[in-house]
Structure 1
Amino acid sequence: MHRTTLLSVVVSVGLLAASAACAQDKKAPAMTPEMQAQMEAYQKAGTPGIEHGKLAAMAGNYDLTVKSWYAPGAPPSTDPGTATRRMILGNRVLVEEVTSSMMGQPFTGQGLHGFDNVTGKYWATWNDSMSTGVMLSEGTCDAQLACTYTGTHHDPVTKKPQTSRMTSRWTDKTTEVFEMYGPGPDGKEVKMMEITYKKRP
């Protein structure tokens, strides 16, 4: 567990324990204003809001059309796929599981999507069967869930961090288009992937 997350858990548990002790033992001292403020901050940070409700509306089963560009100027490779999205952790996080193919090989992936009440930004992670690493992304979305993310992962060839730009938009109530851009051979940004999600009834 990340140190910051562990610290948050420890502080939260401590504050809740103090509150419970105060409630059960009338002789126990009341929480200090500082402790009360800390507890309220943690409760606010952990309470699902409007943004989490928007993520929940994306839950369901999807058919995918996956386009991948392996070389600048070359036509894309197109593969079918499926995705399942569902909410976890008390409607705080959307988990996405994808099955498709890539470069002629079976491909599976899993992503997490959330909204951080503390930073006010959306975040995402991505793992798949063609890597042992993880991509971490952060971004913003408008009221219609048109989003722009910046993600970072370690490039297998250079071993260095590589940054990608990702966008997503809903063209209608059941269709989402995801696009991913990254550095080409000359370092300039090129389109690498486009996924069209079609939600099943």
Structure 2
Amino acid sequence: MCWPVWGATDNNHRKGYTCSPRTWAQIGTPFMRRRIAMHNSAGKLIAVAAITLLTSLALAQTENKPPEMTPEQKAEMEAYTKAGTPGTQHQQMAATAGTYDLKFKSWHEAGQPPMEDTGTATRTMALGGRVLVEEVNSSMMGAPFTGHGMMGYDNVTGKYWSTWNDSMSTGLMVSSGTCDAGGKNCTFTGSWNDPIKKAPVKARMTTKWTSPTIEVFEMYGPGKDGKEMKMMEITYTKK
């Protein structure tokens, strides 16, 4: 095999070529070394790139993983979960859901005969079984009357609470109280803003189930003489 050379003119060489018996190993050694070096470098680059990619993925997974809670945070989470979980008291309220016929009696003065009206009420549970909602439709002094009430049990305070507003007022009555173990007899205290006195008026309210289908609500407040008097009575008859 001949390779080009410059200035070769002896008998063993044709001009411009050499035909010395070089081996492939002799002519390929530098070339192969460069190829091997390049191959090794490329392999190292690929390995580095792979390690970098795996490290990035691991870091990304670590960053996306929520941090573990401290014992204090776990305790706080448990407290909030317990506070928001419906319990026995909420189940007892849920048992009163349904539709009712109502009979109203109201007194403006002690010792005087009451005014009487009739109406209907619908009770439903809301907020995942946490709150009892009551919608009332009736008449009051010859005019249509609608009312909206809510009742719940606060796991934190261990007390019941209730709110009431209706079509005869722009205010809100807020009450709190307790019930017996069966949830059949309850006593609440609350207040509303009197439009004449421009001051809060306190009231005491009781509810009592006299039978599986009849509940009696009574409200007491100060009379003209300042003494407590019975102001209202509502008999609920479940349909």
- The TM-score with structure 2 as length reference comes to 0.72
Could you tell me how far 1:29 is from its partner in structure 2? Answer: 3.3
Asked if residue 30 in structure 1 is aligned to residue 68 in structure 2, the reply is: yes
More helix by share: 2
The superposition leaves residues 114-136 of structure 1 with CA deviations (integer Å, 9 ceiling, x where unpaired) of: 00000000000000000000000
**Aligned mates of 1:70, 1:64 — CA distance in 2:** 20
| Larger Rg over CA atoms | 2
How do 1:50-61 and structure 2 match up within 5 A? 50-61=88-99
Corresponding residue of 1:11? none
Identity percentage of aligned residues = 66
SS at match of 2:111: coil
Amino acid at match of 2:230: K
Higher relative contact order (CA 8 A, sep 6+): 1
Asked if residue 49 in structure 1 is aligned to residue 87 in structure 2, the reply is: yes
Corresponding residue of 1:196? 235
Give 1:64's match in structure 2, choosing from 90, 95, 102. Answer: 102
SS at match of 1:133: coil
**Aligned mates of 1:198, 1:30 — CA distance in 2:** 53
SS at match of 2:110: coil
**Aligned mates of 2:196, 2:95 — CA distance in 1:** 38
**Aligned mates of 1:188, 1:101 — CA distance in 2:** 28
**Aligned mates of 1:114, 1:124 — CA distance in 2:** 6
More strand by share: 1
The count of aligned residue pairs is: 177
Corresponding residue of 1:163? 202
The superposition leaves residues 140-163 of structure 1 with CA deviations (integer Å, 9 ceiling, x where unpaired) of: 000232000001111111111110
Asked if residue 137 in structure 1 is aligned to residue 175 in structure 2, the reply is: yes
Corresponding residue of 1:117? 155
Corresponding residue of 2:192? 153
Give 1:179's match in structure 2, choosing from 218, 225, 228. Answer: 218
Corresponding residue of 1:97? 135
The superposition leaves residues 75-127 of structure 1 with CA deviations (integer Å, 9 ceiling, x where unpaired) of: 00110110000000000000000011112211100000000000000000000
- The TM-score with structure 1 as length reference comes to 0.86
Amino acid at match of 1:49: G
